[in-house]
Chains A and B, each alone.
Chain A
Amino acid sequence: MLKVLYLPLNTPEGTQSGMYDAWNALGVELHVFDFYMKFLQDQNSSKVRAEFLQEVSKIRPHLVHMQLQFTGVIDYDTLAKARQLSPQSLFVNWSGDIRKNVPPEFVSLSGALDYALISNVGQMELYKQTGCKNCLYWQIGYDPKISHPKEPSGQFMYDISFTGNMYPVDLFPDVKLRLDAARAIRKKFGKRAGVFGNGYSLDIGPTSVVKGSQTNDVYCTSISVLSISNFNDVSHYFSDRLLACMASGRPTISYRFPGSESYFTDGVDLIIVNSIPEILQAVEYCLTHPEEANRIGHNGYKKVLAEHTYTSRIVELIKMLNLDGLL
């Protein structure tokens, strides 16, 4: 049986239970080492590292799958020691984050890993040039228990919804684009445009913050949903927002990104737009063509349910790492 030691990035705001379910669905022997919550509890990284090494030594997993983020809790030396304790284990670290530059913390760990996984293709060369030679692409997934269609209890509350925080304009390339999009849908659709997240200026109008399953509720009560990320020019990069939008079963209007045709079909699973005026036109289309809108929403839901859940991602990962023979 495949033995997996999983180091999730759990925080007080949320646990990666969807990933636990996905691993368990495969019938692996799953061990979870909650490195970050242990650290938050004791504020003692040495202790966490020692415990981690004990776990590795005790379990001798086939795969150590980690999302260490940039916490610094588990460092390079610890991973190197872990490898010596369990030489037959595969060590991989994944990051779903994207930044303008390659995080040095991520690169520094990569030397002690078998593979460093990133969630886009466009920055692969950048990572390799910065020293992360064993970099591979493994896309983000979503939890179908959290994101799924729901019948609206009454009328739809929104014509269009967008959830996303606003950041300083120079932090990410498309912050301004998102701000302009939020402004445009509010201007056109008024209160029927749901805008959710932190950091919006007052001119946008009233906004609120939603978390976890509340996001799904918002999407399910919207005729259409909008997905724009902060990086729309990186090949194969999209955030889990896109998947959550599509999983709701509502027609998703997605700002274009390179590589979208690897996974999705414009006009069939989702609606790809290239500018803010096109966003508004797409919303109008969904309002005036409800059957077609529902069809697109339904197709999108079926596609992400089949191909983009955490479980599908793990099936893909196991295959990539040639561990399927151990299942």
Chain B
Amino acid sequence: MNFKEKVFLGLDLKNYIVSTRACRFKEGYIFESKFGKANFNFFDLNYHKIVLTFKKISGNGKLVLKLGADQQKVIESVVLLKSYQSIELDLEEDTLLEISRTSESTGEIILHQITAIPKSLTSESQGEDLNKWKSIIKKCGNYHQLRLIGNKLLAGEGSWIENGNLILQIETEPSGLFLRENNRIKFLGSCEIKKMELDYSQRSNFSKKNELYQHFEVPTPVSPFVKEVNKSVKEYTCQIFDTEYHQTFDSKKSKLFVNKLAKLTNSNAKDYLILRRGGVFNIPIANLESNCEYQIECTLQKLNGNGKIHLSIVSDYCSSSSTLCVAEAQLQTHQVQLFTKNGTSFKLQLAMKEDGIGEVLVSRILVNKKSLILSPDFNNPLFKGKFFFSDSLDDIKERTQNAALLELEKYEPYQPNYEINGCVEATYFYGKWWLSKVLPFFPNVRAKNLNEDSLKNRESADVVISSLDTLKFAERIWLMEFKDPLQAWQIQILTQVKYLLTPSLKNYFFLKENFPKMELELCQLSLPSILSFSENEKFNQIVYLEKQLHHTKNLIQSWQENDPKLYILGSNLKVPSYIQIISKYENYVSIMKQIQQSKVVLDLADNNHYDCGFLNVCRNLGLAMITNNQKYFTFSNVLPLKSFYQDNKCYVDLEALKNKVQKAMSFPIYRNDVSSDLSACLKKLLGKN
């Protein structure tokens, strides 16, 4: 049993054609006058009714429909209009249909589509009974110029019934004197409606009497238990709200409002809302966002009383800010500022509360997002970046790590550089980690939000070291290499950035193309080389710095006990005994010693072209490299790994990797001189070069 309509148009029609004569196909079947004919076989259609949609191209539109193998059922009809017109047929047991032009037909008609309709569940539409006609019409909602005379339902030219999609089948006498247009059934001439069948599978859409607010929801009270919210709070993407929301009032909806305290009325061909004490009127506005400021323009007039009404923005969770407006005796526009808080399904609420007396007339509401949000005001407290409400485990881990407070590393001995000064901030963990290792060399460079000492630093950072996920507004940003596509809120931030430094050539070209006003520069984050190269202290071990979790997982799964000892830096994963994790909180000297003692560094990352300070330190300590980072492919002692992308993630051939590991372990060991000038790096970051 089929329960859904099926539409066949265009080439789909050909599936049911048996034969044609004087009938050509072009976006439908075009029947020539007098001789045009097509035979259809709906043998495997399994529907009881079909609706044929015709259009007249020219002439008088006369045609004949013959149903059944012996063509017993003959229907003569006329395609009157050059817009679409439907003819409904009850197939019952018949599967063969012939459509042909009569001998007195002129011009051409086109069969555009055939719609197969399932049998309705029940039918109340055997409309000879007066009450049943009334019941059916009422369920459709509005109608125009229909007459019930005796038991007959009559329509004329220009009559219509609303919500035509609720009507499965309709038959008129003469037949076919109607068409479906803009969800209405429009009648083309005087006729009797013989049959009208409703689609009871859509009963929830039937027009209901006594509904309080058909188009607007009942105001949400603040109650101990919040009503069900269909969608959970997800990651928020900041969208630019360019257009105004403009609300006027439509008194045609007034019949739907039984509430006398808030009603729509019409005066001098203009519609108004009238509020009385206790009256509440809600306007759901889909474009309203959390944590934003809006300017509301409200045109009011006091009819009598004190003119006090309250405007507020309410959401599913609870009511938000509320502002009092006092209307004067003449129409005046008032401007108020309202804030939204965290929530969903925002509504603008107009209410006359206990402090109001009399009646207030509202003629117009205009809602504007304040331009403050869109201007590059980096310190704007209301600006929203990424919404940290995701409860995914990766996001929980990232959130906590990024809030970490790291003390500066203690080196002995060290040579501080007092010439470079400035202020720097990092918004993600490894940016902070880098600062904690590097800033001890630069006592006059101040950190923001790195450790407890720097939390109160309120000066603007000269540069913000950021990842894509932790972007924040700043004029100058160093952005960690990325692979993911940009989200709307990230685009908005990057549009405002004046200077951007990136370690990745790929990202450089991408950003150059998409943000032409941005000044771009390549810049890697160099790490301090505090240990020297030592050939004699090498063991058969490999070091790997975790960049993306999925690479680490794949690596651990593929690693065997007889493979060289693997040291993974900075992962939380559980590992077998032949793999060792080095905590990212180990002091820097210990980490460097572990690297110094290793023969090979393994590097896997989603972005496969960027300059990496960690790899450069490894090369300076004489490690061979196995990497998918194309930046290093041409260097000596480097075994390149090819990577491929699937589901927006990067993968490497692990078997090829293992083969390269064996090879790399036998490489000669020598020091590479890779520049890692910390001072130059910091000058570049701060814009002091």
Which residues of A pack against B, CB within 8 Å?
25-27, 62, 76, 80, 83-84, 87-88, 90, 107-108, 110-115, 121, 124, 131, 133-134, 136-137, 139, 236, 259, 261-269, 299, 302-303, 306-309, 311-313, 315-316, 319-323, 325-327
* 11 CB < 8 A contacts A-B: A25-B456, A62-B381, A83-B319, A87-B320, A114-B318, A133-B228, A261-B572, A262-B572, A308-B400, A316-B403, A325-B380
In the complex, A220 Cα to B166 Cα: how many Å?
76
Residues in chain A near residue B266, CB distance under 8 A: none
Residues in chain A near residue B379, CB distance under 8 A: 325
Which residues of B pack against A, CB within 8 Å?
222-226, 228-229, 291, 316-322, 339, 341-342, 379-385, 387-389, 391, 393, 396-397, 399-406, 449, 452, 455-456, 458, 571-575, 581-583, 585-586
The listed residue (B389, B397, B585) touching A136 by CB distance below 8 A is B389
Residues in chain A near residue B226, CB distance under 8 A: 110-111, 131, 133-134
Residues in chain A near residue B229, CB distance under 8 A: 133
| Residue of B316, B405, B406 with most partner-chain A CB within 10 A | B405
A315 → B minimal CB distance (Å): 4
Check A87 against B322 for contact (C-beta < 8 Å). Answer: yes
Check B455 against A311 for contact (C-beta < 8 Å). Answer: yes
In the complex, A90 Cα to B320 Cα: how many Å?
10
The listed residue (A80, A114, A263) touching B400 by CB distance below 8 A is A263
Check B381 against A323 for contact (C-beta < 8 Å). Answer: yes
Query: Which 3 A/B pairs are nearest by Cβ-Cβ distance?
Result: A302-B585, A316-B403, A87-B321
Residues in chain B near residue A137, CB distance under 8 A: 391, 396
Check B393 against A322 for contact (C-beta < 8 Å). Answer: no
The listed residue (B322, B381, B400) touching A262 by CB distance below 8 A is B400
Given A322-B291, A322-B385: A88 touches B455 (CB 8 Å cut-off):
no
Residues in chain B near residue A261, CB distance under 8 A: 572-574
The listed residue (B224, B316, B317, B581) touching A268 by CB distance below 8 A is B581
CB closest chain-B residue, reference A87 = B321
Residues in chain A near residue B397, CB distance under 8 A: 262-263
Check A299 against B586 for contact (C-beta < 8 Å). Answer: yes
A207 → B minimal CB distance (Å): 34
Given A25-B452, A121-B396, A307-B401: A327 touches B458 (CB 8 Å cut-off):
yes
Check A265 against B339 for contact (C-beta < 8 Å). Answer: no
Check A311 against B391 for contact (C-beta < 8 Å). Answer: no
A225 → B minimal CB distance (Å): 18
Given A111-B226, A263-B572: A325 touches B396 (CB 8 Å cut-off):
no
CB closest chain-B residue, reference A258 = B393
Check A121 against B585 for contact (C-beta < 8 Å). Answer: no
Given A307-B400, A315-B449: A112 touches B574 (CB 8 Å cut-off):
no
A308 → B minimal CB distance (Å): 8
Residues in chain A near residue B396, CB distance under 8 A: 121, 137, 236, 259, 262
Check B585 against A303 for contact (C-beta < 8 Å). Answer: yes
CB closest chain-B residue, reference A133 = B226
CB closest chain-A residue, reference B382 = A325
Given A112-B222, A131-B225, A303-B583: A259 touches B393 (CB 8 Å cut-off):
yes
| Residue of A107, A133, A320, A321 with most partner-chain B CB within 10 A | A133
CB closest chain-A residue, reference B457 = A27
Check A83 against B318 for contact (C-beta < 8 Å). Answer: yes
B258 → A minimal CB distance (Å): 28
In the complex, A319 Cα to B229 Cα: how many Å?
24
A306 → B minimal CB distance (Å): 4
Residues in chain A near residue B225, CB distance under 8 A: 107, 111, 131
Check A134 against B317 for contact (C-beta < 8 Å). Answer: yes
In the complex, A255 Cα to B228 Cα: how many Å?
37
Check A326 against B381 for contact (C-beta < 8 Å). Answer: yes
Given A25-B455, A84-B322: A76 touches B224 (CB 8 Å cut-off):
yes
Check A311 against B404 for contact (C-beta < 8 Å). Answer: no
Check A320 against B405 for contact (C-beta < 8 Å). Answer: no
A231 → B minimal CB distance (Å): 18
A133 → B minimal CB distance (Å): 5
The listed residue (B228, B391, B449, B581) touching A265 by CB distance below 8 A is B581
Residues in chain B near residue A88, CB distance under 8 A: 321, 339
A293 → B minimal CB distance (Å): 15
Residues in chain B near residue A299, CB distance under 8 A: 583, 585-586
A165 → B minimal CB distance (Å): 28
Residues in chain B near residue A263, CB distance under 8 A: 397, 400, 572
CB closest chain-B residue, reference A263 = B400
In the complex, A137 Cα to B574 Cα: how many Å?
24
Check A111 against B223 for contact (C-beta < 8 Å). Answer: yes
Residues in chain A near residue B393, CB distance under 8 A: 259, 262
In the complex, A26 Cα to B391 Cα: how many Å?
25
Can you name 20 extra interface pairs (CB under 8 A) apart from A265-B572, A302-B585? A121-B396, A136-B389, A264-B572, A267-B574, A299-B586, A303-B585, A306-B406, A308-B400, A312-B403, A313-B403, A315-B449, A315-B455, A319-B399, A320-B389, A322-B383, A323-B381, A325-B379, A325-B381, A325-B383, A327-B458
Check B391 against A124 for contact (C-beta < 8 Å). Answer: yes
In the complex, A76 Cα to B318 Cα: how many Å?
12
In the complex, A52 Cα to B389 Cα: how many Å?
29
Residues in chain B near residue A136, CB distance under 8 A: 389, 391
In the complex, A109 Cα to B379 Cα: how many Å?
33
In the complex, A124 Cα to B387 Cα: how many Å?
18
Check B456 against A115 for contact (C-beta < 8 Å). Answer: no
Residues in chain B near residue A87, CB distance under 8 A: 320-322, 339
In the complex, A236 Cα to B400 Cα: how many Å?
13
Residues in chain A near residue B574, CB distance under 8 A: 261, 265-267
Residues in chain B near residue A107, CB distance under 8 A: 224-225
Residues in chain A near residue B402, CB distance under 8 A: 319
